[in-house]
Amino acid sequence: MDSAKQQLSDHQAALRACRQCPQMIGPVVVGQPVMSPILMVGQAPGQHEGRLGRPFAWTAGKTLFGWYEQIGLDETAFRERVYMAAVCRCFPGKKAKGGDRVPSPGEIENCAAWLDAELRLLRPSLLIPVGKLAIAQFLPVGKLSDVIGRSHRVEVAGHAVDVIPLPHPSGASTWHRTEPGISLLHKALGLIESHPAWRAILDG
């Protein structure tokens, strides 16, 4: 194993042992330790991901991987070729009135160091934040329609990266199933498909 891959594996071992946030429900959920030019950032695992041991393992994942399949990678290939991270890596729990709890600013800050380390290790050329919470870690976002469907050049962790945001694929959201969301999602996927990093991983 080369030194960068070993560093990433060591990072994930330390991440899995994290217990900083008492309200978060473990286990820590991480993707495969793949050295990739693309880093996808979700929001936080749902209630099923911890048990299944991988990000986007439930219904939102089916929608998300359906989008990526349209531009050339099925779920298995995507997981093997793209590093999957998140704003928070543990399930935040449910709100009293239903739906998942939004992580607190302190919980987001605690987890930010793990993401920063991954950005520094991988130095990706393409960053795909999925959902408003993830997008907001890299770009100012008021309305999704202001940021989705465009590529944004941003400096993160000391280097420049292209950020192409996607909406959250939640079944509870209608944004990606109504206009202008349908058209902007299609445009965003086209930008990802034509990006050199995506072309590189398609070629294996």
Length of the chain: 204
Q: Which token pair is 186?
A: 């299609």
Contacts with 142 (C-beta within 8 Å, 6 or more apart), sequence order: none
Q: Select the CATH number that applies to the domain covering 37-202 from these four: 3.40.470.10, 1.10.287.610, 3.40.50.12280, 3.40.50.300.
A: 3.40.470.10
Q: Which two tokens stand for residue 71?
A: 């531009």
Residue with tokens 């600013």: 105
- The pLDDT, as a whole number, for residue 1 is 59
Tell me the β-bridge partners of 129: 41
- Among 46, 50, 51, 38, residue whose Cα is nearest residue 62: 46
CA angle at 169 for the pair 197 and 38, rounded to the nearest 5°: 15
In the chain, count of helices (H) and strands (E)? 8, 5
- The mean per-residue pLDDT over the stretch 50-68 comes to 96
Q: Cα separations (Å) of 198 from 79, 128, 184?
A: 13, 11, 19
Parallel/antiparallel/unpaired status of strands 83-86 and 159-163? unpaired
Q: Using 50, 70 and 90 to split pLDDT, how confident is the model at 2? A: confident
Region 185-195: what's the mean pLDDT?
Answer: 98
What integer pLDDT is reported at residue 172 of this predicted model?
84
Find the Cα–Cα–Cα–Cα dihedral 68, 70, 72, 75, rounded to 10°: 40
Angle between helices 181-194 and 59-70 (to 10 degrees): 60
Tens-place pLDDT, residues 119-175: 999 999 999 999 999 999 999 999 999 999 999 999 999 999 999 999 999 988 899
pLDDT in tens, 109-119: 999 999 999 99
Q: What secondary structure does DSSP assign to 145-165, as a single string?
A: GGTTTS-EEEEETTEEEEE--
How many Å apart are CA 175 and CA 170, to the nearest integer?
Answer: 9
Examine the pLDDT at 12 and tell me if it is beyond 90: yes
Exposed, middle or buried, 17 (CB in 10 Å: 0-12/13-18/19+)? exposed
Over 80: is that where the pLDDT of 24 sits? yes
**What is the distance in angstroms between the CA of the first residue and the CA of the last residue of the chain?**
19
Q: pLDDT tens digits, residue range 74-91? A: 999 999 999 999 999 999
